[in-house]
Structure formats: structure tokens, C-alpha cells
Structure 1
Amino acid sequence: MRAIVAGGVVLAGLSLSACVTPRAAPPAGACNAAKAQGFVGNAASEALAEDARKAAGAQTVRILTPGQIVTMEFRAGRLNVNVDESGHVSAIRCG
């Protein structure tokens, strides 16, 4: 910390230049679900899931149906395609 006296008043200043961490580029195979949102509302199929995976840049894809038991670990390179009771894509998320 550095103190500066100006007109009888002490002004204190802090240097915080080292507090900002640069944002790294996403690793190869990382998922970007925003690029696959156009598939939401369509009838689910293996072909649609694969097209969504490619659009999102993910390494893997899984289709999740209502009531299905799934593992909860997060995988940056995986795309999850959620399907509703009518067989349509209800959500697309990474993880």
C-alpha cells in the first residue's frame, strides 16, 4: 500500500494488478451447448444427437429420457440431450 498526502489529507492506494487471472481457451473437445440449442423441440433420435454433438464441439453425447438413472459426474466434453415424454428434445446441456 502507498500513502499520498494531498492538502493535509492522506490518500491510500492499492495496486491490484496481479488479481486478474487471464481466461484460458477451452480445451479441445470441450462442449458449447449454446451452439446446439437449435435442436431443442425436434424429435429425438441418434442421428439428431450426433448432429447436436458435432454442433456443440463435444467429444461424446448421451440421450437422457424421463426417469432414466444417470451418473452425475461433470464431463466438460460431453453433451446431454434431454428428451421429454413425447420423444422431443426438451433441453441440451454440457456435462
Structure 2
Amino acid sequence: MIRPALLALPLLLSGCATMSPRVAGKGSCSADELADYAGRPATAKLGEEMMQASGSKVLQWIQPGQMVTMDFRSDRLRVKLGPDNKVASVSCG
């Protein structure tokens, strides 16, 4: 009886993941040109545009209150979202 429940656990937990990091781009991230993205709704297309504009390889969406690691990655673009699921701020690292 316990085994079927354990097998279903990964499926149930996968529903908890909201937006995981995406990988693409050239390399080193630069958020200098991304101020105009603030206030726009978070979509996959917007993420692709921001990665292209920043030159980042990795995109990380950060929900309000979400815990993130403190490690620095020069190729990562971090997009903090507001409670309305719109871009609040953008940074590299």
C-alpha cells in the first residue's frame, strides 16, 4: 500500500515547481539594458527576450518569498516577480 504512494510522490511534488531555471544564451550576463522590462507579465517569451538582451545562459524566475541560493554565477539572470506575477526587478548573478 505504501509503494504506490511513494511512486506518486515525485509527480505530486513536480506540481509545486512554479518556474524553474531555463538554459540558453551566450555567456556572461549584463542587466544594464533590462530596466524597461519592469512591470511586464512573466511569460516564457519575455524570459527568452530578457536572456537574449542580457546575454545570459541561465534564467531564474524568483517568486515573492522564494528562497534562493547565495552563490554567484556570472551567466545567470535573476528576475524577481511581484505578487501580480509581473517583473519587479532584474539582476545578474
TM-score between the two structures when normalised by the length of structure 2: 0.68
Determine the structure 2 residue equivalent to 1:53.
51
Work out whether 1:41 is the aligned partner of 2:39: yes
Determine the structure 1 residue equivalent to 2:5.
none
| Structure with the greater alpha carbon radius of gyration | 1
SS of residue paired to 2:77: strand
Higher helix share: 2
1:46: Cα distance to partner? 2.0
Determine the structure 1 residue equivalent to 2:28.
30
SS of residue paired to 1:52: helix
- Name stretches of at least 5 consecutive residues in structure 2 with no aligned partner: 1-25
Paired with 2:82 and 2:52, the residues of 1 have a C-alpha distance of 22
Root-mean-square deviation over aligned CA pairs: 1.2
Deviations 1:27-76 (A, max 9, x none): x6111101222211101112211210110011111100001121110100
Paired with 1:90 and 1:80, the residues of 2 have a C-alpha distance of 11
* Count of residue pairs brought into register by the alignment: 68
Q: Which has the higher contact order (CA 8 A, sep 6+)?
A: 2
- Name stretches of at least 5 consecutive residues in structure 1 with no aligned partner: 1-27
TM-score between the two structures when normalised by the length of structure 1: 0.67
Paired with 2:83 and 2:44, the residues of 1 have a C-alpha distance of 17
Paired with 1:46 and 1:62, the residues of 2 have a C-alpha distance of 12
Higher strand share: 1
Determine the structure 1 residue equivalent to 2:84.
86
